[in-house]
Amino acid sequence: MSRKRVRSRDTSPVDPASARPARKGRRGTQPGRRLLAGLVAAGAVCAGLSAVPASAATEPPVVSRGVTIPAFYTPPAELPTANGALIRTEALPLGLSIPGLDGRPMPGTATRLMYRSTDSAGLPVAVTGAYIEPTAAWKGGGPRPLVALASGTMGQGDQCAPSFALQHPLTLKGDTVSVGYEALAVYRILATGAAVVVTDYVGLGTTDRLHTYVNRLDQAHALLDAARAARAVPGASVTAASRTGLYGYSQGGGASAAAAELQPSYAPDVPLAGTYSGAPPADLTSVMKGIDGSALAGALAWSISGFAQSDPDLRAVVDAHISDAGKAALKDASTMCVGDALFGYGFTRSSKWTTDGRSIGDIIAADPRAKAALDKQRIGGLQPAGPVRLATGVQDDIVPHAQARQLAVDWCGKGADVTYEAVKLPNLGDKILTNHLVPLVTDQGEAISWLTDRLSGKPATSNCWTMPLQP
């Protein structure tokens, strides 16, 4: 399928209400661009693993908020026919790595990859990510297993891609701030001897479209296809027989939850052993209310821009109800990472972005077309495959606890094997992200231990019977 490839960029982001917009370029000096482009090209040649089209290598690089996006991330004009098929790979130097006693890097050897997936419209799409072959040996039963990891919220700018963050754990450049916080989970999983594949999601990193933030189908497909692609990575020890686990928190928790629901129909060839879903945004209507006016209010802009790109009904609502100032804010946010959004739009009320002063949530609730479009994103309508561990902080007010708990109730009602964990912590501050982020860290060890047991073939024990007693 032909993809629109745009290389000349202006300094303003693309209108999110337009379908399939090209990616945005941002401010940057010409000497800096030439220097970085030269380094990227030299790295690609040295790696010897890339298959970047000549046109991508010769055209001016994409620059997002002062960060040059390597030519690797520009999709080719034609894509493979099979979901999960590799398009290209290259060596990925990990930003946090040390040499092991045997000369091999710790915690593993990473490969950047691009693979084919299918978007929510049923069309082929190129997605990037990273595969890490662990140095640690797998001591469980069977072949080395694989964990497909869906990152938590990183942003909507291409420079925020999780694979990019593995190489650059901290980006403080131009007008952007990005922190690769998922490295902690990635490295802890690698230490168990399991391989890890990380998806960048649809449109995050790849320069042909806007990232479709929290789109249920896009995220689930990208995660499952990453697991498929990992098997074909040169040098990978995982095979079609490798038990596979899904792992994600926050945005990633929604992605892993949706993937567990869709695996039987979309990717039955992925041998799913277990899924960890932390703080999943299962009901976006509730989540929009949670993030509106919070420190992460910029995420509301990302979701609106992403859905306006992919859903004509929501696009019509944006055109009709978002003011010129609001559209400018959505454009600006569409190139931001989390750090930029915290500084630029933290605690902003969406009522400032609308023509009549109502919140975006209220506008969507009053419009049957928009409400129906958002309802299609609801997770919990299908029984997930295999055992699932769902964890949610009882004080979480960004991705509200109640809607995550309801997902566990919905799944239990469908006969799913659910281990529900209510993370009980004191209120650590309203709307400032602490109630959402602290459970990510405090529950991570238990989550990885639970998933490792599933990858080892140990059975899970559902605690659905405790749900009436659980907070």
- pLDDT level of residue 321 (50, 70, 90 thresholds): very high
Tell me if 277 sits within 8 A of 253, measured CB to CB: yes
Tell me if 220 sits within 8 A of 83, measured CB to CB: no
Range of weakest confidence among 146-150, 170-174, 293-297, 459-463: 170-174
Task: Check pLDDT > 60 for residue 6.
Answer: no
**What's the mean pLDDT in 110-120?**
98
- pLDDT level of residue 48 (50, 70, 90 thresholds): very low
Task: Check pLDDT > 50 for residue 28.
Answer: no
Task: Check pLDDT > 90 for residue 205.
Answer: yes
- pLDDT level of residue 106 (50, 70, 90 thresholds): confident
* Angle, CA of 206, 210 and 216, to the nearest 5°: 100
How much is the pLDDT for 24?
A: 42
- pLDDT level of residue 90 (50, 70, 90 thresholds): very high
Q: What are phi and psi of 184, to 5 degrees?
A: -60, -50
Tell me if 203 sits within 8 A of 180, measured CB to CB: no
Strand locations in 16-145 (E): 62-64, 67-69, 86-92, 98-99, 105-106, 108-118, 124-134
Task: Check pLDDT > 70 for residue 25.
Answer: no
**What's the mean pLDDT in 10-29?**
38
Contacts of 259 (CB under 8 A, 6+ apart): 148, 150, 219, 220, 221, 223, 224, 246, 275
Question: How far apart, in whole angstroms, are the C-alpha atoms of residue 411 and residue 21?
Answer: 36
How much is the pLDDT for 313?
A: 86
Question: How far apart, in whole angstroms, are the C-alpha atoms of residue 178 and residue 162?
Answer: 10
Strand locations in 23-107 (E): 62-64, 67-69, 86-92, 98-99, 105-106
How much is the pLDDT for 261?
A: 98
Sign of CA dihedral 167, 188, 214, 89: positive
The average confidence (pLDDT) of the chain is 88
C-alpha distances (whole Å) from 3 to each of 34, 76, 104, 253 are 25, 7, 39, 29
CA atoms within 13 Å, Cβ hemisphere of 191: 10
Task: Check pLDDT > 70 for residue 445.
Answer: yes
- Cα-only R_g, the chain: 21
Task: Check pLDDT > 70 for residue 45.
Answer: no
How much is the pLDDT for 441?
A: 96
Which pTM does this prediction carry? 0.89
Q: How many CB atoms lie within 10 A of CB 356?
A: 9
In tens, the pLDDT along 359-377 reads: 999 999 899 988 898 999 9
Name which of 466, 265, 274 is nearest 381 in CA terms: 265
How much is the pLDDT for 103?
A: 63
410: left (phi over 0), alpha (psi -120 to 50) or beta: alpha
More confident residue, 330 or 98: 330
In tens, the pLDDT along 225-269 reads: 999 999 999 999 999 999 999 999 999 999 999 999 999 999 999
Task: Check pLDDT > 60 for residue 291.
Answer: yes
Range of weakest confidence among 18-27, 100-109, 187-196, 415-424: 18-27
Task: Check pLDDT > 70 for residue 50.
Answer: no
Question: How far apart, in whole angstroms, are the C-alpha atoms of residue 385 and residue 124?
Answer: 24
Task: Check pLDDT > 60 for residue 11.
Answer: no
Percentage of the chain surpassing pLDDT 90? 79
- pLDDT level of residue 23 (50, 70, 90 thresholds): very low
Token pair in block for residue 211: 């990232």
